[in-house]
Amino acid sequence: MNKSLSAEQRAHRLLRAMTLHDKIALVHGVRRKAYPFKGYAGYVPPNPRLRIPALRLADGRTGVGNGAKDVTLLPAPLAAAASWDTALMNAYGRVLGREEWEKGTNVFLGPTIDIARVPEWGRAFETYGEDPYLNAQMAVAEIRGVQSQGPIANANMYLTMNQETERFRANSVVDKRTLQEIYLPPFRAAIERGDVGTIMCAYVQTNGAYSCQNPRLLQGFLRSELAFQGWVLSDWGATHSTLAAARAGLDQEMPGGRYYGAPLEKAVEDGQVSMVVLNQHVLRILVTMFRHGLFDRRQQGNWQTNALSRSHDLFARKVAAQGTVLLKNKDNILPLSLGGSIAVVGADGGATPVVEGGGSSYVVPPYVVSPLEGIRRRAGKATHFRYTDGSNLAQAARIAGAVQTVIVFADAPESEGADRPNLDLPGDQDQLISAVAAANPNTVVVLNTGGAVLMPWLRQVRAVVEAWYPGQEDGNAIAGVLFGDVDPSGKLPLTFPPTEAEVPTATPQQWPGVNGRSIFSEKLEVGYRWYDARHIRPLFPFGYGLSYTSFRLSHLRIIPNQLRSSSEWASDPRSVVARLDVTNTGHRAGAEVVQAYVAQPAANGEPPRQLAAFAKVWLNPGETRLVKLNLNCRAFSYYDAATNHWISPPGQYRILIGTSSRDLPLESEILVEPRR
């Protein structure tokens, strides 16, 4: 076929050559037992007559999934998001995309770009956290990275997928403004700026209609509003009908053809689904395949290819270290110095570290460096070393009392398919930490969790480090942070609440829902927006994280400092620029994440302040750098559900700048003037 034609022209030509049967074969996958090989989560066989390549869809939010061997297990997406470093997230996408492509995957089932609305959500580790802006930035970075390596990416799960409990039938009841301001922005960004090729509709229902047959979500938002040109595929088993789904805009059923195989073929023959509608589904798939080079690029690898490389191992370590968040460091107990004596305590520090989450994003690790191994190697012979798994509290306390420093490792496993029952560390880990800290005040706690946990022992310990699910390089990465080879520069991508009762989704009506309905009654007050609005002091706020050095922000300038009100902000490409100086005032090199939040006039009815821009800056001791933050006009507007427009009423909008959502020392205002 002539390659100078556009993707659309090539797809239309091909469509004309397709029989009804050819078309039907493209809009659904085949069951695993019909695969000619092992591996992949989904498969659409090739069409040799028309030279349509096969589609091989694989999981892999933290590495190639579905049981693949010889692939890198990266830290969880939440850990990567905690770096607040979009360049790192882009590289994360490149590594994933590269390994998937080498394994023969041409549709990569990630990233998960839903908002971590419910702190107990069993898939929180797969997300980028609780804020739409941070999520959007990370989504764009990762998707571009993945797609640069060959595979088409998949923004999932669309939409309001925020819990595992009753996930196959839960109905999210959520108002239009909240959808627009909180849940849609990552998808908007994935489409408009990430150029994502596919979107996965979710298991749950939104406002009474299943995602994969929801005209409001599929035709309304995706096609009319966001002009999405790619194809929508269903989550595995999330298709519930033939006619409703086909008419609402589901393009492809996965993994089999229960509704989109013979039943759809018959529905087209009977005229219940028009050929025009079927052609639209087929064209979206073909156009996307052409646009992303699937017809033209040779793919050599297959499921057996060894995708491992030393550089990917090192990258896994880098991400784990960059995403680690230092939450407490009393008397600068960290970084540790060599020599003396150390005890590592906890099963998570030894034989069974929790390095990843479970479910479809599970990756078979090529190896795992345990914290014990990593720390022992880094501490070297000069350090006297003890270890206990902590199963015997009295023994653990005895060992703790006999060394200079204790490092307790604790974890909270998470998996697709179930929410965490609460925010406690499971088992007797809280008691273990308390017992150890009572025996030795020089206690450092390292957490491996996929989201927030409560810390009843916080006052008793000197330091707390949140290392998330760190992947295969666990021990090496944490040793690097604890001994100061790496300055911790991660920031929380979600709030750590003070108690279970004070989270935004504390009522059973909100989570896990009553009679199958999960009411999003907190509306815009998701994550830190809730704590700010309710004047609740979080255990650790969104955006928070310490460093081994210190920073000063100064000389804030905002340009322009006035704007004119407009009814069409959504399409306004302008932005407001905040410039400031950041200085490393300490004695070590380190990185700071500068964050800008916008506080709208009270009458707009928005949460007290919302993240609008951020930048990560690396500085040597004494060094000062000018940082530029671009705040999109959208940050000075809200979604008016009455007119279905983003509007920006006249008034004073405050811009607050600092290093966490609760530490915003610099402030300026911007005046939005009435329309002329």
Binding site for ligand BGC (CB under 6 A): 41, 59, 109, 156, 235-236, 360
Provide the minimum distance between the beta carbon of 30 and ligand BGC in the complex, in angstroms, as a whole number.
14
Q: For residues 547-586, b (16+ Cβ closer than 10 Å) or e, as one string?
A: bbbebebeebebeeeebebbeebbebeebbebebebbbeb
Of 214 and 360, which CB lies nearer to ligand BGC in the complex structure? 360
Q: Say if CB 167 and CB 161 are below 8 A apart.
A: yes
Of 187 and 409, which CB lies nearer to ligand BGC in the complex structure? 187
AA letter at 514: V
d(CA 45, CA 511): 40
Distances (CA, A) of 237 to 85, 212, 234, 256, 263: 35, 10, 7, 8, 16
Of 41 and 82, which CB lies nearer to ligand BGC in the complex structure? 41
Preceding omega of 157 cis (within 30 degrees of 0): yes
Provide the minimum distance between the beta carbon of 87 and ligand BGC in the complex, in angstroms, as a whole number.
26
The DSSP 8-state label assigned to residue 594 in this structure reads E
Of 126 and 348, which CB lies nearer to ligand BGC in the complex structure? 126
The DSSP 8-state label assigned to residue 551 in this structure reads E
The DSSP 8-state label assigned to residue 606 in this structure reads -
Distances (CA, A) of 396 to 390, 431, 433, 459, 571: 5, 11, 10, 20, 60
d(CA 359, CA 482): 30
Of 203 and 483, which CB lies nearer to ligand BGC in the complex structure? 203
List residues with catalytic annotation: 235
Determine the distance from the C-alpha atom of residue 452 to the mean position of all C-alpha atoms in its chain, rounded to a whole number: 14
Provide the minimum distance between the beta carbon of 161 and ligand BGC in the complex, in angstroms, as a whole number.
8
User: Please, what is the angle between helix 429-439 and helix 393-401, to 10°?
Assistant: 30
Of 361 and 405, which CB lies nearer to ligand BGC in the complex structure? 361
- Of 673, 570, 559, 550, whose CA–CA distance to 623 is shortest? 550
Of 58 and 578, which CB lies nearer to ligand BGC in the complex structure? 58
**Within 10 Å of residue 395's Cβ, how many Cβ atoms?**
14
Of 236 and 303, which CB lies nearer to ligand BGC in the complex structure? 236
Distances (CA, A) of 588 to 330, 487, 583, 585: 18, 8, 12, 9
Of 167 and 312, which CB lies nearer to ligand BGC in the complex structure? 167
Provide the minimum distance between the beta carbon of 138 and ligand BGC in the complex, in angstroms, as a whole number.
17
Q: Say if CB 483 and CB 344 are below 8 A apart.
A: no
In three-state form (DSSP H/G/I as H, E/B as E, the rest C), the secondary structure along 46-94 is CECCCCECCEEEECCCCCCCCCCCCCCCCCCHHHHHCCCCHHHHHHHHH
Kindly tell me the number of DSSP H helices and DSSP E strands found in the chain: 17, 26
d(CA 522, CA 536): 14
* Alpha-carbon torsion, ordered 563, 565, 568, 571, to 10 deg: 10
Element at 313 (helix H, strand E)? helix 310-323
Provide the minimum distance between the beta carbon of 175 and ligand BGC in the complex, in angstroms, as a whole number.
25
Of 415 and 448, which CB lies nearer to ligand BGC in the complex structure? 415
The DSSP 8-state label assigned to residue 348 in this structure reads G
Determine the distance from the C-alpha atom of residue 244 to the mean position of all C-alpha atoms in its chain, rounded to a whole number: 31
Of 174 and 201, which CB lies nearer to ligand BGC in the complex structure? 201
Provide the minimum distance between the beta carbon of 147 and ligand BGC in the complex, in angstroms, as a whole number.
17
Q: What tokens were used for 219? A: 């035709």
AA letter at 112: T
Provide the minimum distance between the beta carbon of 179 and ligand BGC in the complex, in angstroms, as a whole number.
21
Provide the minimum distance between the beta carbon of 362 and ligand BGC in the complex, in angstroms, as a whole number.
10
First to last CA, the chain: 55
